Chains A and B, each alone.
Chain A
Amino acid sequence: MSASRKKGKKMGIDRKRSLEAYIFLIPWLIGIIVFFAYPIFTSVRLSFSKITSFKGLITEWVGLTNYEYIFFYDINFVPTFLKVVTDTLLNTPLCIVFSLVIAILINRKMVGRGFFRTAFFIPVLLGSGYIMKQLLGMGVDGTTITTGIMVPKLIADLLGTSITTVVQSFLDRITVVLWKSGVQIVLFLAGLQGISGSLYEAARVDGATEWEMFWKITLPMITPIILMNVVYTIVAFFTDGTNPMVDYIYKMNFTNQMYENAAAMSWVYFVFALILCMTAILLMRRHVYDSGTKN
């Protein structure tokens, strides 16, 4: 920017545009630096050190001690972490398949299309944090709201306990997934709207069935949205307020006041989420349809 002063009116158009852009960006940048970037770096620093004085946050470098602690001494961290990881790995594909199927169903021309679209979006309104947490954990001794309502008693008696448990846990999972896929459904709808009708028209002329059209047209065309939704879903599951890991980190911070360990935990957690997203992107990139339009 100092160069622009020297050049005066001869300032290049690129540089002028750049300068204007930064004027627009300044409020946002200040916000993100003060309330995101700086806290993030503080938390990195915290994760490698020990607080010696809270006044001015004076810390002492201790290397990997905090990480050692959370992996080898903390009895809750590893099991919680593994649970969240398996949950995410199971729920993400379910969520994607589920929301794609629902989006295709309500993308048809049908009576009450608007109603269905709104209805699937409603859990999103409640799903932000505290309320959902209460609903999910509101029964006695930790039973979820879904338990006891999904499998009727009569059928349960016929099937026997072990099968019922499996079915029940599957239904529970489906229900929770459905509550969390409101945004994904809407994103898929947006993607489906973007597929040109003439493709289907041409396929129909050539005698393709609905089933073939789904595999040969819809699915390839929608791959960019699938990729975006996979990333979105992973992030959503990982940062969700009802997530036991987030809960544990919070407890570590505010109840146990072990700030350094909490910081180390959140970094292990974040890096894992990042690796997961990157893996998803790398695995899927080869299959993503590129329409040739540049963003």
Chain B
Amino acid sequence: MTAQSSTYRPRRFRLKWRHLTFSRFMLYLLLTLLVVIAGLPLFAMVCRSLMPLDELYIYPPRLIVHRPTLRNFSDLLTSLSSSTVPFTRYIFNSLFTTVVTVLLSILVCCMGAYGLSKHHPAGSNAIFAVVLAALMFSTHVTQIPNYLVVNALGLVNTYLALIIPKIAVAYNFFLVKQFCDQLPDSILEAARIDGAKEFRVFWTIAMPLLKPAWTTLAVFSFVSNWNDYFSPLIFISSNALKTMPLALQTLSGGAGVVARAGTVGAATFLTTVPCIVVFAIMRGKVMETMSFSGIKS
């Protein structure tokens, strides 16, 4: 329980502004500069969604919008309303597949990681080696054989094609396993002595203790699944089943199309909003997890 105790580390002294010395001032200046750079992508994205077309193609490229306009958004709405599938359908598709994927992935990966970390089954080293190797593979690389598998299972053009292949993810497994290793065995042992069945131990003891791990995972997983553009592009051809990022990109003409470059900006911005919302909600939890209990290997 080192994680818990360090969370409640008492503050040794209170900070006040009068401690502001020259070196501290320089520190703030440097950090602010770095934060500005780090925030640049977000800022640029918002600006580009507000830029009129002529400003988008000006040279040298502009970062800050001079004459903001909502034209891009209204253009996007127009092209959306002209499509045969209502826009809400895309939102539903995206939300449904993402949420189901995230929930199932968390459950399956936590179960697996718990089994591997706390039971040390025969062959656990081999399994862990597979996980480490899998971390290094980009999903794009195995996309063709993956398509063949999904096709053979008859999942092409169904929601399941967007969900099932993304449940057993090596990265999620790795993250939960690192946390699971830090759980003291004694707590689990105590529950077992009290007569709890193994699944009950997992569900009522291990899962609550692993909460920081899987809330973090939920955010990561949500962001990556929501933004996933490749799997719907490959597995889905029916318009009614497209997810939001794909639908928005195809409707607005995709990257590189000059006439609708503004709408692409607006579409990109809209796609990111849910991720930012999810992160804002879970922010405290994620930062706490990542910086206190640590993913220490």
Residues of A within 8 A of B (CB): 17-25, 27-32, 34-40, 42-43, 46, 57, 102, 105-106, 108-111, 114, 116-135, 137-140, 143, 145, 147-149, 174-175, 178-179, 182, 186-187, 189-191, 193-194, 224-225, 228, 235, 238-241, 243, 246, 249-250, 253-254, 259, 262-263, 266, 269-270, 273-274, 277, 295
Could you give 29 example pairs across A and B, Cβ below 8 Å?
Answer: A24-B114, A25-B112, A25-B115, A27-B111, A27-B167, A34-B149, A36-B134, A38-B145, A40-B142, A42-B145, A105-B27, A109-B15, A120-B35, A121-B287, A125-B276, A126-B272, A130-B245, A131-B45, A140-B59, A143-B61, A148-B60, A189-B291, A190-B296, A191-B294, A225-B296, A250-B230, A254-B143, A259-B144, A274-B136
Q: Mark B1-12, 1 if CB is under 8 A from A, else 0.
A: 000001000011
Known: A25-B112, A123-B41, A270-B141. 14 other contacts (CB 8 A): A18-B120, A30-B168, A38-B149, A40-B145, A106-B31, A126-B41, A143-B60, A148-B61, A178-B38, A179-B38, A189-B290, A190-B295, A193-B294, A269-B141
A112 CB, nearest partner CB in chain B, Å: 8
Size category of the B interface is 35 or more
Known: A20-B119, A21-B121. A123 touches B38 (CB 8 A): yes
Count chain B CB atoms within 10 A of each CB in A118, A179, A259 and give the residue with the most.
Answer: A118
Interchain residue pairs A-B with the least CB separation, the first 8? A31-B168, A24-B115, A28-B112, A21-B119, A190-B294, A39-B145, A21-B121, A148-B60
B83 interface contact, C-beta 8 A? no
In the bound assembly, the distance between CA atoms of A116 and B30 in angstroms comes to 12
* B residues less than 8 Å from A31 (CB atoms): 108, 164, 167-168
Q: Which A residues are CB-close (under 8 A) to B6?
A: 193
Q: Are A105 and B31 in contact (CB under 8 A)?
A: yes
Chain B contacts for A224, CB-based, 8 A = 296-297
B213 within 8 A of A: no
A114, A147, A178: the one within 8 Å of B37 (CB):
A178
A18 CB contact (under 8 Å) in B37, B42, B122, B223: B122
Contact check, B60 vs A27: say whether CB atoms are below 8 A apart: no
Q: Are B121 and A18 in contact (CB under 8 A)?
A: yes
Asked if B96 is at the interface of the complex by the 8 Å CB criterion, the answer is no
Q: B291 CB to closest chain A CB, in angstroms?
A: 4
- Given A36-B142, A110-B15, A149-B63, A25 and B121 touching (CB < 8 A)? yes
In the complex the two chains form, what is the Cα distance from A194 to B297 in whole Å?
12
Q: In chain A, what residue has the closest Cβ to B197? A: A20
Per-residue 0/1 for B72-108: is the Cβ within 8 Å of any A Cβ (1 yes, 0 no)?
A: 0000000000000000000000000000000000001
With a CB–CB cut-off of 8 A, which chain B residues contact A132? Answer: 41
Chain A residues positioned under 8 Å from B27 (CB to CB): 105, 108, 110
**B295 and A118 contacting across the interface, CB-CB below 8 Å:** no
How many whole Å from B36's CB to the nearest CB in chain A? Answer: 9
Query: In this complex, what residue of A is CB-closest to B134?
Result: A36
Whether A32 touches B116, Cβ cut-off 8 Å, given contacts A139-B61, A270-B137, is: no
Interface string of B277-297 (1 = CB under 8 A from A): 001000100110011111111
* Given A21-B116, A35-B168, A39-B145, also A130-B295 (CB < 8 A): no
Q: Mark B32-51, 1 if CB is under 8 A from A, else 0.
A: 00110111111011001000
Q: Once the chains are docked, how many angstroms separate the CA of A224 from the CA of B133?
A: 20
Does A191 contact B35, Cβ atoms closer than 8 Å? no
> With a CB–CB cut-off of 8 A, which chain B residues contact A57?
148
Does A129 lie within 8 Å of B165, measured CB to CB?
no
**Within 8 Å of chain A (Cβ to Cβ): is B255?**
yes
